[in-house]
Structure 1
Amino acid sequence: MATLRTAADDFLAQRRIAVAGVSRTSEGAHSGNGIYRRLRDRGYEVFAVNPNADRVEGDPCYRSLASIPDGVDAVVVATTPEAAEDVVRDCAELGIRRVWLHRSLGKGSVSETAAEYGRQHGIPVIVGGCPLMFSPAADPAHRIMRAVLTLTGAVPRNVQDAEQ
């Protein structure tokens, strides 16, 4: 079992990251869009995924993970928990081995069914929290949120290994 810090560092070491569940509009505080913008602004090659959008945040948007040219190394899931299950299935089919089910307050994208499916298919899914909480350039709000959510158990301290 890896620590969350180790898994987060490995996730953030990837350069091609998809964010599944971005909103068509950038208005409001949709977490997927915020993650997408921050990763893009920090130099990642980031891909927006929304089956109902052609553009997000002024950039091309892909309707599925499979439609991203040359694939990705990691996926942040910022969908409903029900949609997260489909995204994790797609990751398994495409050989994507780094998946983060986003959650800050509330349920977020966390689905135990999705996480278990991922583990059964070789993916040690990060369940809860946000990659921005673990970035070396994390803003004060994300650092505080990481501490609070870790203390309350909303962010796990460890990531279950994938089944081999």
Structure 2
Amino acid sequence: MEPAIKAFFTTPRFAVVGASADTAKYGYKVFAWYLSHNMPVTGINPKTPVILSQQTVADLDQIESPGETAVSVITPPAVTLKVLQKAKQLGIERVWCQPGSESTEVLQFAKDNGITCIANGACVLVDGESGLQSAGREWKL
């Protein structure tokens, strides 16, 4: 288990940038994964105020306790870079870039700004269970 994944899951809160109401999209699947594990998660989508019966927020700066939040990102790389820039401003230190959301520029920004960025093909849906276990978090399904 990658140490960054373990550290990601030790964070008290989570957010999903790119949460979606479209069941075919990964933004839906990742948000649903957090909810199915009864995790404290906030969906972020500027156009959809409710997803899976949960209130969402329009922007990362609207989440509660950003410094205690790890963020999963499911957006195109150009948007992901803006998300990381906002994360830096808010004191968010752990970001999981789902496959397809990262770029060389995104990864370099994270590295240069002290943001731990899980990327390079790692996926919450694939690696999340073992990440939770390595962090000592047992969530009731």
Return the TM-score normalized by structure 2. Answer: 0.83
> What letter corresponds to residue 125 of structure 2 in structure 1?
L
Q: Select the residue among 43, 52, 57 that pairs with 2:47.
A: 52
Q: Percent identity?
A: 26
Distance, in Å, in 2 between the alignment partners of 1:22 and 1:51 is: 10
Structure 1 residue 55: Cα displacement: 1.1
Q: Select the residue among 7, 12, 20 that pairs with 1:10.
A: 7
**Which deviates more, 123-132 or 54-63?**
123-132
Number of residues of Structure 1 aligned to a counterpart in Structure 2? 129
Matched, 1:95 2:91: yes
Matched, 1:130 2:123: yes
Structure 1 residue 137: Cα displacement: 6.0
Distance, in Å, in 1 between the alignment partners of 2:4 and 2:65 is: 23
The match for 1:158 is none
Distance, in Å, in 2 between the alignment partners of 1:137 and 1:126 is: 14
Tell which has more relative contact order, 1 or 2 (C-alpha 8 A, sep 6+).
Answer: 2
Tell me the alpha carbon deviations over residues 15-50 of structure 1, each in whole angstroms, 9 at most, x when there is no partner: 311000112x2332x112111111111121011001
Matched, 1:41 2:33: no
Q: Which structure 1 segments of 5+ residues have no match? A: 139-164
Tell me the alpha carbon deviations over residues 82-106 of structure 1, each in whole angstroms, 9 at most, x when there is no partner: 1101111111110100011101xxx
Structure showing greater Rg: 1
Instruction: Report if aligned partners of 1:19, 1:78 keep a CA contact under 8 Å in 2.
Output: yes
The match for 1:159 is none
Structure 1 residue 134: Cα displacement: 2.1
Report the 3-state secondary structure (helix = DSSP H, G, I; strand = E; otherwise coil) of the residue aligned with 2:128: coil
Distance, in Å, in 2 between the alignment partners of 1:77 and 1:58 is: 20
Q: CA RMSD in A?
A: 1.7
Report the 3-state secondary structure (helix = DSSP H, G, I; strand = E; otherwise coil) of the residue aligned with 1:27: coil
Distance, in Å, in 1 between the alignment partners of 2:126 and 2:6 is: 11
